[in-house]
Chain A
Amino acid sequence: MSKKRILTTSMGDQTLRLLTLLMAVSVLVLMAWMGWQMFDAARPSIQKFGLSFITNRVWDPVKEQFGALPFIYGTLVTSLLALLLAAPIGLGVAIFLNEMAESKFRAVVGFLVEMLAAIPSVVYGLWGIFVLAPWLRETVEPGLAKWLGFIPLFQGTPVGFGMLAGGLILAVMILPTIAAISREVMAAVPNMQREAALALGATKWEMIRVAVLPYAKSGIMGGIMLGLGRALGETMAVTMVIGNRPDILPSLFAPAYSMAAVIANEFTEATYDLYLSALVEIGLILFGITLVLNFFARLLVWSVARGPKGGNVV
């Protein structure tokens, strides 16, 4: 009975299948290749400095001293500040849009929030230089120093350009990410859950708290992590307002530096190989962190909204 059966197929079929397969696989290759390329270029620096690269706080290319700690510090502080501000607001926006707004209003406000993500980073930076920083220097920072000055975070001369400015601008930029992912996972919560809660006499807020948030929780966490990933790697706006000084100071008002910013500023000026290699190593660290962060964030989001099979729509 097992006669050979003709299974097709025309040249065209084979070609398209192979071509698309090639392109799909190229995505995997691209990711691996990026990692390898960076690692390869960073190797001289890795070999020379080893772990001290991330613990050394002196960055002095003239003396061939390369410590990335100030950049790591600046990146972490601004990103965490951004997260602190953007996570609750982004979640609030998502709840408002998903659970409260009428559909017309939802479309308009949803579009506006997405526009927040569409504004190019360099435009945020321009605005940061000429609007945000002066405002911080003249109004916000003196005020904070006056009322909260007993905390080291809010001490020192108001400069405007510094970690506070960087964190604020990052908060604006990652807010749409957090809001969008939170919306996506909240939309994936079955309506039955909501109706069940309402039928038991819950108020709207109680419904959100007991029927929506718990189910969307891990997805929202994923969204926040994606926002963090975006903040860590965001380059231009931060470069333009953070002050670009490789110091580690406790005050949020103080100028600092971020990993992406030092790469943007010094990459084309790196006059010798080790210097360039050190900058690439900073990039490699950034790549590694965002890769891991995105990996786990996607796992969380997929577990709620998409599913590893890419949804069930046929």
Chain B
Amino acid sequence: MGQTLSVRQLEAWYGSNKTLKGINMEVASNHVTAIIGPSGCGKSTFVRCINRMHETMPGTKVKGEIILDGKSIYDQDPVALRKMVGMVFQKPNPFPSMSIYENVVAGVRLNGMRNKQNLQGIAEKSLRMAALWDEVKDRLNYSGMSLSGGQQQRLCIARALAVEPSVLLMDEPASALDPIATTHIEELVRQLKEDYTILIVTHNMQQAARIADSTAFFLNGELVEHGATSEIFTNPNDKRTEDYITGRFG
């Protein structure tokens, strides 16, 4: 099941450059929440705070609070946290030294699961959820790099799902893909929300409108507006949101 996230007064820095300026946001469970906003407004930084990846970079700083399912993420071991909060990156990044199968089970296997049958079960289940199983079931031992870009991205999604997170962060997961592969991913996201809380960063307004239940608009490190997707796109409260979605921005 997905879990709720609540973000309180979140601030983040790169060096002395303050990138997030106090974000407050509630993310509903089993919802797809889209995050939109102009380039450089802090979308990636925001999602990277949620699985505490932001802090892994030298010179960065975070302040504020993020509560996942009633517990502060800062009270947890970040490594354990990341098993609950999966992430899919903008560019597909399968592990080059591993086969398709090894890629999918990397997370569970490197965390100690040895049982072959279990692993195979997990691999198949995850690949099916990522709608990739039929395409790769006969070549699980091929290198992950042998797949097309869209397949690689679904492999990365399967890899993230295999760890059984409750929240899935997706940072422009389809921006490097062609329209058909993008449709695949969008279809997938719609199905995954049954089981996951999904946050998806996108530059594509139509995409947000198609798949997201709610949408958040970021600008210059601030959350300008967050509401039901239909509201945001048809009847935004804030003038800046309207300017952005109608393309009159900047």
Residues of A within 8 A of B (CB): 1, 3, 5-10
Contacts and interface: CB of A to CB of B under 8 A. Distances in A.
B74 A5 contact: yes
5 contacts: A1-B63, A3-B72, A7-B55, A9-B79, A10-B77
Interface residues of B, number: 10
A83 B91 CA distance: 51
B76 interface: yes
Contacts of B55: 7
B78 A10 contact: no
Nearest to B81: A6
Secondary structure of the A side of the interface? loop
Contacts of B64: 1
A6 B74 contact: yes
B138 interface: no
A5 B72 CA distance: 10
A165 to B, nearest CB: 50
Q: What are the nearest 5 A-B pairs in CB distance?
A: A5-B74, A8-B78, A8-B77, A6-B77, A6-B75
Contacts of A7: 55, 78
Contact of B74 (A3, A9, A10): A3
A9 B77 CA distance: 7
Nearest to A13: B79
A6 B78 contact: yes
Interface in B148-207: none
Nearest to B63: A1
Contacts of A10: 77, 79
A313 to B, nearest CB: 16
Contacts of A8: 77-79
A22 B79 CA distance: 24
Contacts of B75: 5-6
Contacts of A9: 77, 79
Contacts of A1: 63-64
Contacts of A6: 74-78
A9 to B, nearest CB: 7
B65 to A, nearest CB: 8
A8 B82 CA distance: 12
A9 B63 CA distance: 20
Interface in B18-61: 55
Nearest to A2: B63
A33 to B, nearest CB: 31
Nearest to B75: A6
Given A3-B74, A6-B77, 6 more contacts: A1-B63, A5-B75, A6-B74, A8-B78, A9-B77, A9-B79
